């Protein structure tokens, strides 16, 4: 039986030190750290390692539930994996213990609020972009595909795969440009 810690921040300029101190202070023998967005499990190798390593009787500990997941679906999937292994999830800063009905209920509520916070942040970002576009300040991402070059290479008889390879773009982008002449 072991207690493992998981510490996560979203960006590389954020610090994990406080989380690591809390987790080791709570008895975690191993703490895995990650600097990745919590909006998805994809690409979070340290979390996946911990989930694979858990055994019956082990505990996965976080400081707060939003360090583990930012969506209810991901949170529920992670909890399902932990439970299937006979392990438990606990948090140092929140009364979460998946071994009790009250702890599970509180976990679900916190998951809903974490997802709500993420959605609010996304809405504010979209509002800011819309205002910047209206003022003519925001132009979006610069195009990385030269439609004229795609047309020139197609005119030389190259196929979509060769064009995509030569320009370092996706084949679907080549097809999209060639099928819709207004884009070229």
Question: Which residues form the catalytic set?
Answer: 10
Distance CA 164, CA 161 (A): 5
* Burial class of 43 by CB neighbour count within 10 A (0 to 12, 13 to 18, 19+): exposed
Tally Cβ neighbours within 10 Å of residue 157: 7
CA distances from 175 to 79, 134, 180 (A): 42, 32, 8
Distance from the first to the final alpha carbon of the chain: 62
Q: Which of 112, 116, 101 is nearest to 72 (CA)?
A: 112
């Amino acid at each position: 039986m072991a207690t493992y810690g998981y510490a996560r921040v979203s960006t590389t300029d954020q610090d994990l030190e406080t989380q690591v101190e809390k987790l080791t202070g709570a008895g975690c023998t191993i703490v895995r750290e990650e600097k990745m967005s919590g909006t998805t499990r994809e690409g979070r190798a340290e979390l996946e390692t911990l989930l694979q390593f858990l055994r019956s009787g082990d505990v996965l500990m976080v400081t707060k539930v939003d360090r583990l997941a930012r969506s209810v679906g991901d949170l529920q999937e992670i909890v399902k994996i932990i439970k299937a292994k006979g392990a438990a999830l606990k948090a140092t800063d929140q009364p979460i213990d998946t071994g009790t009905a009250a702890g599970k209920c509180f976990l679900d509520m916190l998951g809903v609020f974490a997802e709500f916070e993420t959605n609010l942040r996304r809405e504010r970002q979209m509002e800011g972009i819309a205002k910047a576009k209206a003022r003519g300040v925001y132009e979006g991402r610069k195009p990385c595909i030269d439609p004229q070059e795609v047309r020139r290479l197609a005119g030389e008889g190259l196929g979509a795969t060769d064009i995509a390879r030569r320009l370092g773009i996706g084949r679907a982008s080549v097809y999209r440009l060639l099928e819709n002449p207004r884009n070229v």
